[in-house]
Amino acid sequence: MQAPITLIGAPTDIGAGARGASMGPEALRVAGLAAVLQAQGLTVHDRGNLTGPANPWRPPQGGYRHIEEVAAWNHGLHGAVLDELRAGHLPIVLGGDHCLGLGSISAVARHCRERHKKLRVLWLDAHADFNTAALTPSGNLHGMPVALLCGLGPPELTGIGGHTPAIRPQDIRQIGIRSVDAGEKRLVHEHGLEVFDMRTIDEMGMRHTMELALAGVDGDTHLHVSFDVDFLDPEIAPGVGTTVRGGPTYREAQLCMEMIADTGRLASLDVMELNPALDVRNRTAELAVDLVESLFGKSTLMRKQAPTRAT
């Protein structure tokens, strides 16, 4: 039985370096997110948008921009995601910039601790988002959520959810990475994050990459996908604030989503960084919805069974 889905809008760009991701939730709704999921026989409830502080557009203070506002948004999101998980629902967070991964994933991790479930986070992104104030001059917190989840950063952010660190580096697999700062790279290595960067995907293909990223996922696993839309190649997904050339193609992205769907373990999802102010006729939102549809099992397969996987 597929859990009922709850859509949670988090309309803010509080952690970003460009304004506009605050319009992401509505663009995803306009692109028909609820309808395509319902067409697959899923139950979908849209609980509307969370509210939080406005974006004051200040420079960094103590190395971080908008730390209080980021904490407020993430506390609100943490509570909303946790409520949905405890009710047996499958939350889809409509971002919003990727600093919101902190509130969402800290709630998922807390739920996994309460239910003694194994956590696997797939972080689909052009960036590792493993920065700290010491490493980044911008202070934009959307470049830091993975580091914050792993306990690196100020306590008012790392402590959201009451458990520091919220997750362990071995709980997460990063896919599609192609833009990492030098200092950030060092930190990623120090903490032993498993990264499937674009070179890996080029060399071994998306299929083998996903087999590795999903290895060990079993019936006890809560699988969370944090989908930063800048994961996709900007040729097909221009509507994001931090485009990086050389991302997955449409087919590679579809295969990625379909292989996640095949596990049957997807239990929560973030769709982040969609920026309608930079989009072209909402096509990036429509693409994101198309991919979410595949993530929930709409397959392009004409054959009855997938070929046996090489192990």
Can you give the binding site for Mn ion, defined by CB under 5 A? 98, 125, 129, 228
Instruction: Report whether 262 belongs to an annotated binding site.
Output: no
Q: In the complex, what is the shortest distance from the CB of residue 123 to Mn ion, in angstroms, rounded to a whole number?
A: 8
127 vs 51: CA distance, rounded Å? 27
Residues 6+ apart with CB under 8 A from 263: 214, 217, 223
Q: In the complex, what is the shortest distance from the CB of residue 220 to Mn ion, in angstroms, rounded to a whole number?
A: 28
Instruction: Report whether 228 belongs to an annotated binding site.
Output: yes
Residue 225: in which H helix or E strand, if any? strand 221-228
127 catalytic residue (yes or no): yes
89 catalytic residue (yes or no): no
Instruction: Report whether 270 belongs to an annotated binding site.
Output: no
Instruction: Report whether 230 belongs to an annotated binding site.
Output: yes
Nearest to 229 by CA among 119, 127, 78: 127
Q: Which of 97, 129, 233, 270 is catalytic?
A: 129
230 catalytic residue (yes or no): yes
Q: Which of 13, 84, 125, 233 is catalytic?
A: 125
13 catalytic residue (yes or no): no
197 catalytic residue (yes or no): no
- In angstroms, how far is CA 163 from the centroid of its own chain? 20
Q: Which of 66, 78, 111, 142 is catalytic?
A: 142
The size of the chain, in residues, is: 311
Q: Which is nearer to Mn ion, 37 or 187 (CB)?
A: 187
228 vs 126: CA distance, rounded Å? 8
66 catalytic residue (yes or no): no
- Three-state secondary-structure class, residue 117: coil
Q: Are 253 and 232 in contact (CB under 8 A)?
A: yes
Q: Are 149 and 129 in contact (CB under 8 A)?
A: no
Q: In the complex, what is the shortest distance from the CB of residue 188 to Mn ion, in angstroms, rounded to a whole number?
A: 14
Q: Which of 66, 75, 89, 127 is catalytic?
A: 127
Q: In the complex, what is the shortest distance from the CB of residue 11 to Mn ion, in angstroms, rounded to a whole number?
A: 17
Catalytic residues: 98, 125, 127, 129, 142, 228, 230, 273
Annotated binding site for Mn(2+): 98, 125, 127, 129, 228, 230
